[in-house]
Amino acid sequence: VSTSSTSTASDQDQNHKPTSTELTEMHTHQVDPDGDIILFTPATSESPSVDAIDGNVPRKHTRFQVSSKHLTLASDYFKRMLKACWAEGVALSTKGSVEIPVNDCKPEILLIILNIIHGRSQQVPRKLSLPQLTDIAVATDFFQCHEALEVFAGIWIQDIKPLVWSSFSEDTKKWMMIAWVFKSNDILRQTETIAMQEGTGPFQTSNLPIPKSIKDKIDQARQKYIDLLQEKIGERIEILLNSPAAKKMSYCAPGCDAKHLGLVLRKLTENKISYSASVPSLSHKPCSPFFTVRLGNVSPRTICLMVANRKSNRRAYCAPRKRCENYGGLFGDDAANEALKLPRSL
């Protein structure tokens, strides 16, 4: 949402409020028939708004006659704009009216907000779709009119709250935007957690004005989890690679670790997880780490399901009557325990 400053608004030819006849001819929404401001939205966000310089609002624009008193009371944005130090404020005080373009806001969304601001509650819908509510949230944040929309926002959110999904999608980001603007903390925490658990890379806002603090919170929690599991999986593979030399006492059959290593690498490949190995340094005792696992393109939830699976491995891998040291999950108990620490809430 944006408004273009009419820097020459004080030079407008109109010295009076628009008459009813003029407004009818221009197809203006008379939110306040006695209003002293005309807001207008271009047919598209790319439409030029410089037509207002001459005081002539083009017919292809949707117009709204509104009250400056209502706008300044409900919206900090318009309160600042209509001060005497700005062109719009000068035009309003000297001419008695002013025309202000509003870009990147759909006319039907702006009309809902203006009806609420002007107390026309019977004209306000009680149900909105998720995309509509998202547009309302974006516009509310831009115009800084949170308090005015608080009651209706609660009604709209409650109506479609059952639609909040537990899987990550573009709708998750829309809900995140709505929850942040209207302070629905339970939904915000839920969407943040879903984005962290199921994201396969840095969080992308999809051009929604979601605060950087939320994005950073999601990315940092995800990266912390991934870094730890990369380390634990790498350690597990190194143990399997180095045995039995790394084990002073081994109860497993000679081929047990080799078979488990193959299963681990196959599981990584199935989940499209890349890995690499370098020649270990012989100057370090014990052997320094040399196996690298990269989980950056995998969601934490996928990692958790893969690593925390404690399904028993068959004892048949070992020699008869010998206890298998690899009994349990493929990735070992240490990695499984860390995987289960996947944050349930941010």
pLDDT digits (tens, 9 = 90+) for 298-336: 999 999 999 988 664 555 445 555 566 676 678 988 899
Please, how many CA atoms are within 13 Å of residue 293, restricted to the half-sphere of its CB? 25
Share of the chain above pLDDT 90, in %: 57
- pLDDT band per the 50, 70, 90 thresholds, residue 291: confident
Other Cβ atoms less than 10 A from the Cβ of 222: the count is: 24
The owner of tokens 């980001």 is 173
Other Cβ atoms less than 10 A from the Cβ of 44: the count is: 9
Rounded CA-CA distance 344/346 in Å is 7
Share of the chain above pLDDT 70, in %: 75
Rounded CA-CA distance 209/192 in Å is 15
* pLDDT score for 317: 47
pLDDT, one tens digit per residue, over 134-180 is: 999 999 999 999 999 999 999 999 999 998 888 999 999 999 999 99
**Per-residue three-class SS string for 85-113:** CCHHHHHHHHHCCEEEEEECCCHHHHHHH
The residue extents of the domains of the chain are 1-124, 127-210, 224-339
Q: For the chain, give the mean pLDDT.
A: 83
Tokens of 241: 């690679």
pTM of the model: 0.80
* pLDDT score for 269: 92
- pLDDT band per the 50, 70, 90 thresholds, residue 92: very high
* pLDDT score for 20: 47
* pLDDT score for 50: 39
Average pLDDT of span 71-76: 97
* pLDDT score for 323: 61
For the CA atoms of the chain, what is the radius of gyration?
Answer: 31
Rounded CA-CA distance 343/3 in Å is 41
Please, how many CA atoms are within 13 Å of residue 343, restricted to the half-sphere of its CB? 23
More confident residue, 78 or 244: 78
Average pLDDT of span 254-261: 79
Instruction: Provide DSSP, 132-151.
Output: HHHHHHHHHHHHT-HHHHHH
Rounded CA-CA distance 66/134 in Å is 24
Other Cβ atoms less than 10 A from the Cβ of 43: the count is: 12
